[in-house]
Structure 1
Amino acid sequence: MRAPLSWLREYVELPAGETGRDVAAKLIDAGLEVETVERLGAGLKGPLVVGKVLAIEELTEFKKPIRYCQVDVGEANGTGAPQNIVCGATNFRVGDKVVVVLPGAVLPGDFAISARKTYGKVSEGMICSAAELDMGEDHSGIIVLPPEYEPGADAVELLELVDEVLDIAVTPDRGYCLSMRGIARETATAYGQQLRDPALLDVPTPNAQGFQVNVSDPKGCDRFSARVVTGLRPEATSPLWLQRRLQKSGMRPVSLAVDITNYVMLELGSPLHAYDRSRLDGPITVRRATPGERLTTLDGTERKLDAEDLVIADDSGPIGLAGVMGGGNSEIADPEQDPESGEWRGTTEVVVEAAHFDPVTVARTSRRHKISSEASRRFERGVDPEAAAAAAQRTVDLLVLLAGGSADPGVTGFVTPHGPHTIKIPATHPGRVAGVGYARETVVHHLLQVGCDVYGQDELTVTVPSWRSDLTDPNDLAEEVIRLEGYENLPSTLPRPPAGRGLTERQRLHRRVGRALAGAGYTEALNYPFVGQGSFDQLGLSQEDSRRRTVTLVNPLSDEEPSLRTTLLPGLLAALRRNDGRGSQGSQGGLALFETGLVFLPTGRETRAARLRVDARPADEEIASLETALPRQPLHAAAVLAGPREQPGWWGEGRPSVWADAIEAARTVARAAGAELTVRSARHEPWHPGRCAALHVGGPDGDGEGTLVGYAGELHPRAVKALGLPQRSCAMELDLDAVGKAGGGVVPAPRVSGFPVATRDVALVVDESVPAARVETALREGAGELLESVRLFDVFTGEQVGGGKKSLAYALRFRASDRTLTADEASAARDSAVASAVERTGAVLRGAEAPAQS
């Protein structure tokens, strides 16, 4: 909401010399979010005056229209002689009043004006457009003023070019601040001044002569005021002061009737709509739409209506979406002048609508039809229902004043009776919430400032004002007292947690894994937990894949992603695509991202969760019931890679990311959890069938299956193409809860020995079908406690080892914690390891194979 300071001063007596920044500081202290204070006309220096066009000479020797004009600027130039000005605009004629900037002036943007020769003529100044004066973005033509202004008059004051505008980000609970009335109320409170409420108008009582209105859905529309104004002059235009206030508030002037409804909406916060009475067919009806009905809205779009849409209709059908946007079939006609008679044709009779619509209904209609209008923004956040009649009266007054109309004596007023909303609150409650002792008089004073009526002594009965629909319970009232007392006055106190409590084991595991992956060169990417079936299609998941069974949200943020994720890959791969498209690179040259987060696996028992109390801890039964209604939510870890894993340089050649790097990322996670992974080849979407590994934990040995906890490898080319990823992208995903359970929750610190290591290398020939992990497990168990580590450093196949065979070369490191190993001890441990591998995997020590038969 943009609030011009000059407009704000009409409702609040601000101290002399108070600037926009001063007001912004006060409003920020009161809890409003003032984003910027824009200084209009900063750097503007006159003379900038009204001029009358006396003569126009068309310069035809140029490719574009150029006009040499004589303009009367009165005594502003010191001589009284006309100014000669070159201008390229064609939207004015002799006798028109225009805005002229004379030599010596400076326009916004530090644009100095001087007399200069152009197009073969000396131009003594400039005739200005709205954009050149920073009044808007309209470059199409210069400003043509109404005829009543005298040449030489100060245009800076006339056009209100110097002002300050506060740009306020209105949060959803402060809908009343989407109006000058609401902002003025907060300003008056902040300065301790009285508010001159623009809604305090004499409103006539509804009578039977008013325009006929039928409300068939009182829940969707609990108030409806209608007024008729006749005898409007079609040629009447909005005065400059009205246009400037709209422009400063971020709205574009359109026509007088529309400008007045927009002005009153900005002033009072109550959206209005004006209908051309001659285009209405019968009485107005407020009802739900009939399925299949269509309406062409003011933006020219034909829309198919839903049965939940609340519409304004006449006998011909819908003429507007209630609280969102009017229809084109009843809009105010643009005025036209008959070229022969000179008479003006256009709207002469207007029906003014001022109503109050259900916020939820308006929000759903706005979202359903993808329309976000000024009216819908206000109705969604809560509009003062009591202001509807005053807004209608204010509109009628302005139409009579500015368009020469006559107010019809008929007044339509539909009201669904509602009692005032009252809240009982102990006088000490705000102090208990804030941790500060507030006297009863302080609490009552601030509640009265907000607009509440307060009765009682120790137990207060508070009647909430109609414009504060967000005040629903005692804590809301406590918040109002606290913010008006000043958040800066609250003491800073640290909470005192009970002794012996800290991070849970799951939280510690989460942190360890994040640090480990970050240390391995991965960058954390946090993604929204929402997916759609389209994401699963891109991954190439079959229709029977369990990951397609999702929990669907009742009120999703996006219709394209209405479900909760069952895998981290869609969001993480989308982040990889965005970063690759923007040329982002990691510290090692390629892209390496990771995420740890919850996935949501349906159990079939999900229901709408019950609302729990917030003033005390819920009962165990309530918590158990809530947990039962929720999906299963295991913690997962995933990583994705693309591009070079190691950059080339003076140190040597680089290498691209490959499937083995994804597996190593999974091992990094497992090590952080204190678990050990067993890797086996597998087929699982969206991975490449020949470069996919199934990851297990908890197997008793290399032959045991253990628990499947995830997959890693290179993505399938079809998935890479569908997702728009770099070629040969890789990914891994693990069930972190399962990995942590296998790790036991404790990661032992490494033992550091001061004795030297003994290294032995062994090369074993096995069948190609034997997994390397199975051989490694056998070596570990056979080597005994002296073994420090086993590392596979070479895999070889060829004629030398025979068909269907492969050679696996391992480096074994032996070390004792209390002595230096002898060569015999190291060799004996190696021999024991080899013997175990021979017995359990059928391995043969390379070099000890039977000689080939000749």
Structure 2
Amino acid sequence: MRVPMTWLREYVDLPADVTARDLAGRLTLAGLEVETVDTLGADLKGPLVLGRVLEIEELTGFKKPIRFCRVDVGEANGTGEPQEIVCGARNFSEGDLIVAVLPGAVLPGGFEIGARKTYGRMSAGMICSATELGLWEDHSGIVVLPEGFGEPGRDAIALLGLREDVLDIAVTPDRGYALSMRGVARDTATLYGVDLHDPAEIAVAEPAGEGHPAVIADPALADRLVLRGVTGFDPEAPTPLWMKRRLHQSGVRPVSLAVDVTNYVMLELGQPLHAWDRERLRGTVTVRAAETGEKLETLDHVRRSLDPDDIVIADEAGAQAIAGVMGGLDTEIGLSSTDVLVESAHFDQMHIARASRRHQLSSEASRRFERGVDSAVQLAAATRAVELLAELGGASVESAYTHVTRPAPARTITMRASHPGSVAGVDYPEGTAEKHLRALGCTVEGEGATLTVTPPTWRPDLEDPNDLAEEVIRFEGYENIPAVRLSGPGRGLSDSQRLRRAFGRTLADTGHTEVLSYPFVGERDLDGLQLGADDPRRDSVRLANPLNDEEPLLRTTLLPGLFKNLARNVSRGFHDVALFETGLVYLPSHGGDAPILSVERGPDTEEIARVDAALPRQPRRTGVVLAGRAERGGWWGPGREATWADAIQAARDLARAAGVGLEVEAAEYAPWHPGRCAALYVRVHGERVLAGHAGELHPRAIQAFGLPARTAAAEIDLDVIENARTPVRAPEVSTYPVATQDVALVVDESVPVGVLSDALAEGAGDLLEGVRLFDVYTGDQVGEGYKSVAFALRFRASDRTLTAEEAGAARDAAVAAATERTGAVLRG
């Protein structure tokens, strides 16, 4: 909302020394964020004066019409003689009052004016258009002022209001009242403790009869409708300069008098209006829901299919406007419209908000209706509009009018008088709450500890005691709330937080780059993962109001977001990519709907249990995806492509950062390649628990997401890894020498090396210090279908030097265990 200071001062008796920046600071501290203070005309420099055209000489022989004008500028040029100016505009005549800028002046944008010879004549100045002066956008010609505006030679900068301070306020959705001069003026008057001249306090006579027939079909759609008409309106009557100027300063483009009046009243009172050509209306005006299949061509020349949830204003021929959003083309005010009907209504704000988004049609009217407008200002706004049409357009106001109303009962809120102080943590003096709430327009009853408050009609956002507390606190000043240091001792990061940071550092140190993805996916993403119809990951939480209709689900896996990030990087020319993401996934609990908790008290045990049951489970996971080269080539060597083994190694690194051992087994799990997928297990209290999967992606998944061939990925449940942690015990360091024994075992090719290594470790007993694989051989010497696997076993005792017999016995026990579990044979 853009607020010109001179317009605001008409409603608020601000002290003369209060500047726009002073006011901006006070409003921002009170909750109305002023983004900028624009000083219009700050770069404007005179002399810029009123002038009267005395004589026009038409110059010929040029490609376009040129006029040589003699202009009376009084004594502004220092001689009193007429000023000679060359001008190409055609929309003025001899005797007209215009705006002339003389040599030495500077127009907005740093455009300096001087005397120069042009088209064979000396031109000492310029006759200005509205655009050149910064008044409003108008390229049709120069500004012709009405008679009586001023005498030639008078300074035009002040008369035209070319210098103006304008506050640009970022209005939040809960403060719809601030989308009007009236609303900002009320807050300003309260902040400075000065009088407010409410522009809505308009004397409205009782109707002298029935106006245009109107009906509200459903009170749930609208509770008030006003129709006021004028006759004999001059459709060619110009919008006065002061109104055009204020509309432009407020960010609204002047169009025509009828439209400009409705926009002006909307900015002034916050009530959107619509002007109809009454001769085009047929019969009774009805506010109703749109019918299935109904269509309407709106003022932007788009034919729209209406939804039964849309509110429309219709006559006997059908819908003529999408209520609160945009009018229809059939009843638009035109150059022949002399009978004008002004409509002012109060619609349900949720219907307007949905209609605006459904039709992707955000208007100044919809912005106000969806935030909530005053439910009692409709008659005053319509009356103000028809009076302006009569004053400026020569119309006659009809004394009969229509006022259909079905007002809802007033809301009352019971609040402890000390509640605002409790919320702010400040002991406000007695009577503070009553003072500010009455200044706000609330009716306050009761004394002492409990207050009964009835909010004003222009504040539909005030619904509970906390809303009222916010109003009291903001007028007392957020800056006056003391900053209190927490008294409890700081404990730093929790164990879980430190572990998560360790996971991130581990992956970053091994060459991975962290990314963040939106937690939303669609069915197309799940299909791309090649998930079966019964895959648990298809059981997702569906959002009621998604940001993107194609992604209405909360993710059950991190992989789609990682794949999209990888595809985007590859498309930008980065072919060697290793990415990781740590975040939550959302697994439905199907525990029913969560209760709406009271703000007056804390939830009880049952309510907490119901909330917990309704919330989805949210395990924390880390996902990794790799493509291209894992090691770059150069003078040191040819480099190496990333493979499924790198994805498994990333998982091992994460487990190692937590001090957890990872067990790897071959598996089949989408979206990984069936022959290159590993299941990752950890031990939690002795029980084997699945922690994730890693490996090379399935070619169909790679194609679905547009990934490079042989892309590898891993996804690990960090909560499972954390639960597998055991208390860290300092190792015993032996000072005695190590005994090394090598062993080569022949096993079936299908036996995983990890299983063989575990069997050796289990059989070797307490003397074993470590098992290291150093060779795998397949060939004629071991036979087809077999492989030879060689390990180095390290033995050491903490209290003595091992004898050869002890080391050999431990080695034999390890081999025996491997033979029993896997069928391995000691290779000769």
TM over 0.5: yes
* Cα pair 2:623 2:715 within 8 Å, conserved: yes
Distance 1:709 1:384 in 2: 57
The alignment partner of 1:376 has SS state of helix
- Residue in 2 aligned with 1:730? 712
Q: Report which stretch shifted further, 75-84 or 392-401.
A: 75-84
Distance 2:810 2:126 in 1: 97
Q: Report which stretch shifted further, 170-179 or 94-103.
A: 94-103
Q: Mapping of 1:771-786 within 5 angstroms?
A: 771-785=752-766
The alignment partner of 2:206 has SS state of coil
Residue 244 of structure 1: CA displacement? 2.0
Are residues 1:483 and 2:450 paired? no
C-alpha offsets along residues 132-178 of structure 1, whole Å, 9 cap, x if unaligned? 55556x58565544454666554433443322222212112211111
Are residues 1:325 and 2:326 paired? yes
Letter in 1 for 2:701: A
Residue 198 of structure 1: CA displacement? 1.0
Distance 2:36 2:546 in 1: 32
The alignment partner of 1:613 has SS state of coil
Letter in 2 for 1:694: A
- Residue in 1 aligned with 2:596? 611
Question: Could you say if the C-alpha distance between residues 783 and 204 of structure 1 is closer, same or farther in structure 2, counting changes exceeding 3 Å?
Answer: farther
* Cα pair 1:643 1:657 within 8 Å, conserved: yes
Are residues 1:362 and 2:352 paired? yes
The alignment partner of 2:462 has SS state of coil
Q: Mapping of 1:3-14 within 5 angstroms?
A: 3-14=3-14
Question: Could you say if the C-alpha distance between residues 181 and 812 of structure 1 is closer, same or farther in structure 2, counting changes exceeding 3 Å?
Answer: farther
- Residue in 2 aligned with 1:219? 220
The alignment partner of 1:172 has SS state of coil
Q: Mapping of 1:542-621 within 5 angstroms?
A: 542-578=532-568, 590-601=577-588, 603=589, 605-621=590-606
Letter in 2 for 1:281: R
Distance 1:579 1:134 in 2: 46
Q: Mapping of 1:628-707 within 5 angstroms?
A: 628-647=613-632, 654-698=639-683, 706-707=688-689
- Residue in 2 aligned with 1:406? 396
Residue 711 of structure 1: CA displacement? 2.2
* Cα pair 2:105 2:112 within 8 Å, conserved: yes
* Cα pair 1:385 1:467 within 8 Å, conserved: yes
Letter in 1 for 2:199: P
User: Alpha carbon RMSD of aligned pairs, Å?
Assistant: 3.8
The alignment partner of 1:37 has SS state of strand
Residue 568 of structure 1: CA displacement? 2.2
- Residue in 2 aligned with 1:626? 611
Question: Could you say if the C-alpha distance between residues 757 and 406 of structure 1 is closer, same or farther in structure 2, counting changes exceeding 3 Å?
Answer: farther
C-alpha offsets along residues 24-51 of structure 1, whole Å, 9 cap, x if unaligned? 1101111222222222223222234456
- Among candidates 357, 364, 378, match of residue 388 of structure 1: 378
* Cα pair 1:755 1:815 within 8 Å, conserved: no
Residue 211 of structure 1: CA displacement? 1.3
- Residue in 2 aligned with 1:341? none
Letter in 2 for 1:106: V
Question: Could you say if the C-alpha distance between residues 638 and 93 of structure 1 is closer, same or farther in structure 2, counting changes exceeding 3 Å?
Answer: same
C-alpha offsets along residues 766-791 of structure 1, whole Å, 9 cap, x if unaligned? 44322232233234334544555556
The alignment partner of 1:34 has SS state of strand
Distance 2:93 2:786 in 1: 100
Question: Could you say if the C-alpha distance between residues 714 and 254 of structure 1 is closer, same or farther in structure 2, counting changes exceeding 3 Å?
Answer: farther
C-alpha offsets along residues 825-846 of structure 1, whole Å, 9 cap, x if unaligned? 778766765564455334566x
- Residue in 2 aligned with 1:247? 248
Residue 724 of structure 1: CA displacement? 4.3
Distance 2:70 2:748 in 1: 100
* Cα pair 2:207 2:400 within 8 Å, conserved: yes
* Cα pair 1:674 1:747 within 8 Å, conserved: no
Distance 1:397 1:791 in 2: 95
The alignment partner of 1:364 has SS state of helix
Letter in 1 for 2:483: S
The alignment partner of 1:242 has SS state of helix
Question: Could you say if the C-alpha distance between residues 540 and 204 of structure 1 is closer, same or farther in structure 2, counting changes exceeding 3 Å?
Answer: farther
Residue 576 of structure 1: CA displacement? 4.2
Question: Could you say if the C-alpha distance between residues 426 and 279 of structure 1 is closer, same or farther in structure 2, counting changes exceeding 3 Å?
Answer: same
Residue 697 of structure 1: CA displacement? 3.1
Distance 2:514 2:625 in 1: 11
Are residues 1:177 and 2:178 paired? yes
- Residue in 1 aligned with 2:41? 41
- Residue in 1 aligned with 2:316? 315
Residue 565 of structure 1: CA displacement? 2.2
Letter in 2 for 1:283: T
Distance 1:156 1:452 in 2: 42
Are residues 1:536 and 2:526 paired? yes
Are residues 1:465 and 2:459 paired? no
Distance 1:132 1:823 in 2: 103
- Residue in 2 aligned with 1:711? 693
Residue 612 of structure 1: CA displacement? 1.7
Question: Could you say if the C-alpha distance between residues 620 and 278 of structure 1 is closer, same or farther in structure 2, counting changes exceeding 3 Å?
Answer: same
Unaligned runs of 5+ in 2: none
- Residue in 2 aligned with 1:340? none
Q: Report which stretch shifted further, 748-757 or 651-660.
A: 748-757
- Residue in 1 aligned with 2:300? 299
Residue 491 of structure 1: CA displacement? 2.4
Residue 84 of structure 1: CA displacement? 4.3
C-alpha offsets along residues 365-413 of structure 1, whole Å, 9 cap, x if unaligned? 2222222222122111111111111111111121111111111111211
TM-score, length of structure 2 as denominator length: 0.88
Q: Report which stretch shifted further, 248-257 or 568-577.
A: 568-577
Residue 292 of structure 1: CA displacement? 1.3
Distance 1:410 1:106 in 2: 53
Question: Could you say if the C-alpha distance between residues 109 and 763 of structure 1 is closer, same or farther in structure 2, counting changes exceeding 3 Å?
Answer: farther
Letter in 1 for 2:694: A
Q: Report which stretch shifted further, 513-522 or 547-556.
A: 513-522
Question: Could you say if the C-alpha distance between residues 578 and 766 of structure 1 is closer, same or farther in structure 2, counting changes exceeding 3 Å?
Answer: same
Q: Report which stretch shifted further, 230-239 or 118-127.
A: 118-127
Distance 1:436 1:255 in 2: 53
Q: Mapping of 1:102-141 within 5 angstroms?
A: 102-115=102-115, 125=125, 133-134=133-134, 138=137
Question: Could you say if the C-alpha distance between residues 803 and 33 of structure 1 is closer, same or farther in structure 2, counting changes exceeding 3 Å?
Answer: farther
Q: Report which stretch shifted further, 151-160 or 295-304.
A: 151-160
Q: Report which stretch shifted further, 222-231 or 467-476.
A: 467-476
Distance 2:737 2:202 in 1: 94
Question: Could you say if the C-alpha distance between residues 115 and 467 of structure 1 is closer, same or farther in structure 2, counting changes exceeding 3 Å?
Answer: same
Distance 1:488 1:647 in 2: 56
Distance 1:42 1:799 in 2: 93
* Cα pair 1:422 1:463 within 8 Å, conserved: yes
Q: Mapping of 1:208-287 within 5 angstroms?
A: 208-287=209-288
C-alpha offsets along residues 578-605 of structure 1, whole Å, 9 cap, x if unaligned? 55656789xxx7352312213123x5x4
- Among candidates 50, 56, 77, match of residue 54 of structure 1: 56
* Cα pair 2:69 2:86 within 8 Å, conserved: yes
Distance 1:40 1:827 in 2: 95
Question: Could you say if the C-alpha distance between residues 749 and 232 of structure 1 is closer, same or farther in structure 2, counting changes exceeding 3 Å?
Answer: farther
Q: Report which stretch shifted further, 65-74 or 569-578.
A: 65-74
Question: Could you say if the C-alpha distance between residues 73 and 679 of structure 1 is closer, same or farther in structure 2, counting changes exceeding 3 Å?
Answer: farther
C-alpha offsets along residues 647-703 of structure 1, whole Å, 9 cap, x if unaligned? 5567666545433332233233333454433323334333344443332334999xx
TM-score, length of structure 1 as denominator length: 0.86
The alignment partner of 1:39 has SS state of strand
The alignment partner of 1:386 has SS state of coil
- Residue in 2 aligned with 1:342? none
Are residues 1:452 and 2:454 paired? no
Q: Mapping of 1:433-444 within 5 angstroms?
A: 433-444=423-434
Distance 1:623 1:289 in 2: 42
Are residues 1:416 and 2:406 paired? yes
